[in-house]
Amino acid sequence: MKTKLLVILLLVLPLAALFPYLSMYPYPRYSEFSDLTVSHLPNALYVRNALATWRTIPLWSDAILSGYPFYANPLSGLWYPPGWLTWVLPLPLAFNLLVVLHLLIGGLGLYAFLKSEGVSDYAALIGGVSFELMPKIFGHYAYGHISLIYAVCWTPWLLRAEKQRLLKQGSAGAQIFPAVFLSLMLLADVRWAAYAAILMLVYSIFSACGRSYRTIAGSLQNALYMYGNWCLGMMLQLAFACLLAAPLLLPLVQFISLSTRSQMEITDQLAFSLSLVMLFGLLLPKFGAYAEWLIYPGGLSLLALITILGSAQIRKRYRFWLYAILVSFMLSLGSFVPFGEYIFKLPLLNLLRVPPRILFIAFMSFSILNACLLDTLIRRQVEKQKDVLYVAFIFFVVCLSVGLSFIGWSAKLEFFWLPVQLILLSLLFSGWKRCKIKGQIAASILYVLVILDMGIVGFVQIRYRSAAEVFSEGGAVANYLSGLPGVFRVYSPSYSIPQHTAAMYGLRQADGVDPMQLQSYVSFMEKTTGVPVSGYSVTLPPFESGNPRNDNRGYIPDARRLGLLNVCYVSSVYEIKADGLKFVGKFEDVFLYENIFCLPRVWLQRANDATGKNLVKVSFNVFPNKVFAEASGPGLLVLSQVDYPGWQVYVNGEQTQKVTVENLLPGVILPEGKHHVVFVFRPVLLYIGLGLGGLSWAFTGFLVLRRR
């Protein structure tokens, strides 16, 4: 028990540098955008508001993009249980605590996995620290990719559970743990779960083959029996993981089929691929690099790699992790290797973007090699002649750094960071092997060096901003709009009201930033905004060069079509001259216009009114999953939001056939007389998923309790 508490303490200690900033918002050092405030924070605020105001969990979101299926969006945070803390704890404290907690989970997971591999306590601890401090994780933390961090940190536990399953350790309850951990990844970030499932599959095959070779020597029949059991067990694990995550997966499959995600081109998938030149990032830590291109693994990782490659005995033992590093880096090159486009056309992989994200597998492998190097030193298994490799490698890196500085890269700290680390580590290991430094003292020094090396490179990727600074972006115009009466939407071609600011002030937007966008809405908005859509984009309207302040300056929106979406106001950082837009005023650097063609959220138009100019006043109330209206027919009653499977309409208590207006909006034809109309969102796939998931989790709980 004391050992476990000490391990937890030593894994928490490196994360203490984050504690003073838990109440602040992390941002990239050289960027003004973070997915934490773009997506995760608005989604959490939306759920909190729905729970506080209506005591209900929202299945549909009206916050952005004129409405979308909130329950089917992986970024909604509805289905990942640890993420529910963001509904009750102060923000951003809840997000930062969750990141720290998951980093600790990841470090403990790798420690436990290494212990199951027979690695000593000291070595396993170094592996855990290396995992939780990998600079790439902190780079993604700065960019707000927190759901990705959640999922990545469960990966060591997945491998440990699969190893135990293969060895048939524990009761029946322990045999389903791989499925449980994989389902947690699916619920946290389905994109990483795809890579994790592939890693688990390959690791399981590699482990099973190691045993089956010995079995074949005794009996081919036994080997075939083993392979059959392995295939059956793996299929059951994957199927059960999907059942546990069914509340998200079933709706997500439908959402993807109707979204632009399913129409990505190979160029969209291979976006942000590593180039061969970027591989110098292995040797040169970048202070403030883009998260996807931050690939510095730490001095100990490179030294471990060189040492293990130079020892045939150790190389054979840990060859799987060497292969994992090699394959991960090859795939991360994406468009810069001939076979990249064919790999990412395979099923499941064809829905993933940004190949460098697979490098988390490589960096976990580096962490494992760090532990392996230390373990071999503890066991005195490294030959003395390997000192030559240390010196040669250090000399190479020093020459490279100095050479780059002379050819115009300027001699920055980045160029001398790794050589200094390698020299210190080489001296430490040399003294340790020659028994001039005691083992415990050397391990303690190594622990500190790893924290200083990887921790500093990771922490400098982040800058923190206060809530006042974050919500000042577009705050003046948002504050003005929040005080206006009525229900309406706002459109901005220049992202002048960021999503987090709009969420804080309770505004609804017709534009938006989200990787999942309905194809029907994107097509409608292309005609409405005038901004052409070419290829896949996470923003609507798209920004061709990534500069929202200028990219769409020359495009004039159609005020009448915006009016169909209940867009009553248009904001922009530049002036817009369009028919139907009336200038209201300038709020700091934002121009605000009123749309004189704005239609209400619900309207009724007569059958003989093709123009929709003569509207009948309708009283209505909007709730997260329902819209109530009182209207007198005859006429066409239209709800100004995106239609989607699951929306049903009831007239006077009876379900009525729904119609689609402008190939986008749901409506219903009303006969003569006064009618009570209810639009209600009841997605069938959600209830099927909840049933399957609920039964699966209940079964899991039963097995775990039975194990106890």
DSSP state of 61: B
Rounded CA-CA distance 278/275 in Å is 5
Q: Give me the percent of the chain exceeding a pLDDT of 70.
A: 89
Beta bridge mates, 669: 636
Separation between Cα atoms, residue 10 and residue 373, nearest integer Å: 20
Contact indicator for 290, 273 with CB cutoff of 8 Å: no
Which of 561, 595, 629 terminates a domain? The answer is: 595
Q: What integer pLDDT is reported at residue 436 of this predicted model?
A: 62
Q: pLDDT higher for 436 or 619?
A: 619
Confidence band of 413 (pLDDT split at 50, 70, 90): low
Q: Do both 609 and 589 map to the same domain? A: no
pLDDT at position 382 over 60: no
The string of pLDDT tens digits covering residues 463-509 is 999 999 999 999 999 999 999 998 999 999 999 999 999 999 999 99
Cα–Cα separations (whole angstroms), residue 177 to 8, 171, 173: 22, 11, 7
* Alpha-carbon span 639 to 195, nearest angstrom: 41
| CB atoms closer than 10 angstroms to residue 482 | 12
Q: What is the DSSP letter of 349?
A: G
Question: Residue 306 domain-assigned?
Answer: yes
Instruction: Tell me what pLDDT residue 409 has.
Output: 46
Contact 101, 141 (CB under 8 A): no
Same domain, 338 and 314: yes
Nearest-10 Cα torsion for 278, 282, 287, 293: 40
- Please list the alpha-helical segments (H only) found in 27-92: 35, 41-54
Q: Which tens digits make up the pLDDT trace of 214-262?
A: 444 455 566 666 677 778 888 889 999 999 999 999 999 999 999 998 8
pLDDT at 390 over 60: no
* CATH number, domain with residue 610: 2.60.40
Helix axes 319-332, 299-309, angle to 10 degrees: 120
Answer yes or no: is 142 within a domain: yes
Query: Domain check: are 376 and 509 in the same one?
Result: no
Burial class (CB in 10 A: 0-12, 13-18, 19+), 55: exposed
Average pLDDT over residues 590-604: 94
Q: Which amino acid is at 12?
A: V
Residue with tokens 């923003």: 539
Most confident of 144-153, 306-315, 531-540: 144-153
* pLDDT of 19: 94
Identify whether residues 389 and 274 lie together within a single domain: yes
Cβ atoms of residues 645 and 254 within 8 Å? yes
Domain assignment present for 228: yes
Q: Give tens-digit pLDDT for 572-588.
A: 999 999 999 999 999 99
Examine the domain organization and report whether 296 and 435 are in the same domain: yes
Is the same domain home to 291 and 281? yes
Q: Is residue 693 part of a domain?
A: no
Strand-strand pairing, 462-465 and 590-595 = unpaired
Write out the two tokens for 446: 């190594």
User: How far is Cα 349 from Cα 197, in angstroms, rounded to an integer?
Assistant: 12
Q: Are residues 271 and 256 in the same domain?
A: no
Report the pLDDT averaged over residues 654-665. 92
Single-letter amino acid, residue 88: V
Contact 106, 153 (CB under 8 A): yes
Mean pLDDT of the chain: 87
Nearest to 151 by CA among 110, 112, 114, 188: 188
Question: How are the residues of the chain apportioned to helix, strand and coil, as percentages rounded to the nearest 5?
Answer: 60, 15, 30
Contact (CB, 8 A) for 648 and 658 = yes
Side chain identity, residue 689: G
Is the domain of 430 the same as that of 509?
Answer: no
The pair phi, psi for residue 234, each rounded to 5°, is: -65, -45
Mean pLDDT along residues 304-308: 85
- The residues that bridge with 629 in the sheet, in sequence order, are 620, 677
| CA proximity to 328, closest of 458, 195, 197, 223 | 195
| Total number of domains in the chain | 4
The backbone torsions φ and ψ at residue 583, rounded to the nearest 5 degrees and listed phi first, read -65, 130
Looking at the fold, whether 292 and 380 belong to one and the same domain comes out as: yes
Last residue of a domain, one of 243, 263, 283: 263
The Cα 184–Cα 267 span in angstroms is 30
- For residue 407, the 8-state DSSP code is I
CA–CA separation, 619 and 409 (whole Å): 66
Q: For residue 677, what is the DSSP state?
A: E
Note whether residue 57 is domain-resident: yes
Instruction: Tell me whether residue 158 is in a domain.
Output: no
For residue 548, the enclosing domain spans 471-595
Cα–Cα distance measured from residue 521 to residue 511, given in angstroms and rounded to the nearest whole number: 10
Same domain membership, residue 239 and residue 173: yes
Write down the pLDDT at residue 216. 47
Same domain, 302 and 391: yes
Residue 400 has pLDDT above 70, yes or no: no
Evaluate whether residue 689 is within a structural domain: no
- Burial pattern 295-313, b for ≥16 Cβ within 10 A else e, equals bbbbbbbbbbbbbbebbee
Same-domain check for residues 269 and 255: no
Distance CA 121, CA 199 (A): 25
Give pTM, 2 decimals.
0.92
- pLDDT, residue 385, reads 42
Distance CA 188, CA 190 (A): 7
* pLDDT tens digits, 189-201: 999 999 999 999 9
Tell me: the pLDDT tens digits for 95-138? 999 999 999 999 999 999 999 888 988 889 999 999 999 999 99
Q: Give domain status of residue 708, yes or no.
A: no
> How far, in Å, CA of 441 to CA of 382, rounded?
19
Q: Last residue of some domain: 595, 610, 635?
A: 595
